Chains A and B, each alone.
Chain A
Amino acid sequence: MTPQLPGLLDAEAIRKDFPVLDRLVHDGKKLVYLDNAATSQKPRQVLDALSEYYERYNANVHRGVHTLAEEATALYEGARDKIAAFINAPSRDEVIFTKNASESLNLVANMLGWADEPYRVDSDTEIVITEMEHHSNIVPWQLLSQRTGAKLKWFGLTDDGRLDLSDIEQVITEKTKIVSFTLVSNILGTVNPVEALVRRAQEVGALVLIDASQAAPHMVLDVQALQADFVAFTGHKMLGPTGIGVLWGRQELLEDLPPFLGGGEMIETVSMHESTYAPAPHKFEAGTPPIAQAVGLGAAVDYLSAIGMDRIAAHEHAITEYALRRLKEVPGLKIIGPDTPEGRGSAISFTLGDIHPHDVGQVLDEQGIAVRVGHHCARPVCLRYGIPATTRASFYLYSTPAEVDALVEGLEHVRNFFG
């Protein structure tokens, strides 16, 4: 029997809000959705906000005097207020809507590439990332480095899946302009030591960008407490729709740094010779924004806040602790990343003997269990640990201990099949 774990939410009640969780797959098997690090499911409240927006308010924002245009603008800007409160931003004008975390990260890389001193990234300067970044926080910096001649450096990983900061003073130096790292790894689950990294970056006057894509959905995110300069995250992993992401940035930086995309909405005046720009956040939001998606994300953070991010974190901690314990009982299973529940999130990667993760994922799928297999857009991590790929189970507020049990049973079946 599945034990009662301390800290669990009433997941049965929560699950009633998520229509897709009732789905049956493969001829009547109950869906066990353990791919939340890739994207979360959406509650009825978010789906309703989306359809209500289109059914009642749809108009373009910031550019009409008619009723719908004003209402749509109020809804869009209202979503900005909700996000600002959710991340404890000092000002709503520091919240920029993008299409996803990747765009947010690329936006910062491009701002810095085009910036003047003292922010400018050029051939005399250095960029610092880590070996556990998602490709979205690697490739934009490789591009910036190739275009500017700046040197790209990174922190390596320890054998137990944590950042190796033993050489922090050699990695982050007086030449460093930007340190960009993930708060929670999407492949290893590791929660990174923000304070040590921020302190060192501040010592040398480097900016800090935190990729909070795997943090915002799962824990209290307070941009002031983090003391970073920029924080990026993506809506679809936190109950929101696809097509909406967020970049938070400190106000004075957003004032100083140049825009990246040009277009409608981001200007003050335009002549054929030159233009002046709107103040942030609009300066960084060229063109018609993802309006319905922003409204949907606003509904998502309402939903999360009503439950409480601290309670969601406690729920996931309990599930993760139970999952780690149960997974360790599976013969041949090796956890890639921290194998205790301290200092980690709820994404758990593993290998199972020499059975390839594709085969693990396929046989699990036949039993209705959805996991992610592959390198999880973090191929350098697989190279670091000498494995081609992993299987990853990742949990959320609606995950239950019974789903952990289903996973463990499913893995037994996989072993028998390929054994």
Chain B
Amino acid sequence: MYQEVILDHYKNPHGRGLRDGDVEVHHVNPTCGDEITLRVKLDGTSIQDISYEGQGCSISQASASVLNELLVGRQVDEAVKVQEVFLELMQSKGKLEPDDAMEDVLEDAVAFAGVSKYPARVKCALLSWMAWKDATAQALGDGAVRESA
């Protein structure tokens, strides 16, 4: 489960630290105490920045780093698609073998495929993604999509 890619992101996280944003959210994983504070900065529907600060295990921290790397600079609707594919992978209970198409969408995030076999850790991997989804929904003024990991 601890792929090199995950350990790399954990040791050298992308975009860590809180910067200017439109909306800030704080999400916790109540079963283990992982926490993340995340801000999104949008320019219209384009994602200018996703900044974050958190504490947690290598999986939750690396996942936030991958999120930043993957989504900053994209359009929100594209990013939502990436999020949906990542969610599908994480909910696959280890049964989904990522194909080339999935790898093209998820890039480094396919390394988390192995994590999906460990129910206790899936929430760690999803923490930052759920926080991002929540923050983005709020930034777009659509409180209805609020949901926590």
Task: Give chain A's interface residues, CB within 8 Å of chain B.
Answer: 356-359, 362-363, 373-375, 379, 382, 388-389, 417-418
Is the pair A373, B2 in contact by a Cβ cutoff of 8 Å?
A: no
Residue pairs across A and B with CB atoms within 8 Å: the count is 42
Q: Which residues of B contact A (CB under 8 A)?
A: 1-2, 7, 31-35, 55-59, 61, 118, 121, 124
Q: How far does the alpha carbon of A388 sit from the alpha carbon of B56 in the complex, in Å?
A: 8
In the complex, A363 Cα to B57 Cα: how many Å? 12
Nearest B residue to A358 via CB reads: B57
Q: Is the CB of B56 within 8 A of A358?
A: yes
Q: Smallest distance from the beta carbon of B44 to chain A beta carbons, Å?
A: 37
Whether the pair B58, A374 counts as a contact (CB closer than 8 A) is no
Given contacts A362-B57, A362-B118, A417-B2, 18 further A-B contacts (CB under 8 A): A356-B57, A356-B61, A358-B32, A358-B56, A359-B2, A359-B59, A362-B2, A362-B121, A363-B2, A373-B32, A374-B33, A375-B32, A375-B33, A379-B33, A388-B55, A388-B56, A389-B33, A418-B58
State the majority secondary structure of interface residues on A. helix
Instruction: Give complex CA distance A389, B1 in Å.
Output: 21
Question: Are B124 and A388 closer than 8 Å at their CB atoms?
Answer: no
Partner of A359, one of B31, B33, B35, B58: B58
Chain B residues near A379: list those with CB within 8 A. Answer: 33
- Nearest-Cβ distance from residue A359 to partner chain B, whole angstroms: 5
Cross-interface CB contact of A388 among B31, B33, B59, cutoff 8 Å: B33
Once the chains are docked, how many angstroms separate the CA of A57 from the CA of B40? 64
Inter-chain contact B57/A359, CB cutoff 8 Å: yes
Instruction: For A362, list chain B residues within 8 Å (CB).
Output: 1-2, 57, 118, 121
Chain B neighbourhood of A373, CB < 8 A: 32
Closest residue of chain A to B7, judged by CB? A418
Q: A382-B33, A388-B33 are contacts. A358–B59 as well, Cβ < 8 Å?
A: yes
Give the residues in chain A near B1, CB-CB below 8 Å.
362
Residues of chain A contacted by B31 (CB below 8 angstroms): 374
Q: Determine the distance from Cα of A363 to Cα of B59 in the docked complex, in whole angstroms.
A: 13
Contact of B58 among A356, A375, A382 (CB under 8 A): A356
**Which residues of the other chain, B, contact A356 by a CB distance below 8 angstroms?**
55-58, 61
* Bound CA span A59–B76, Å: 62
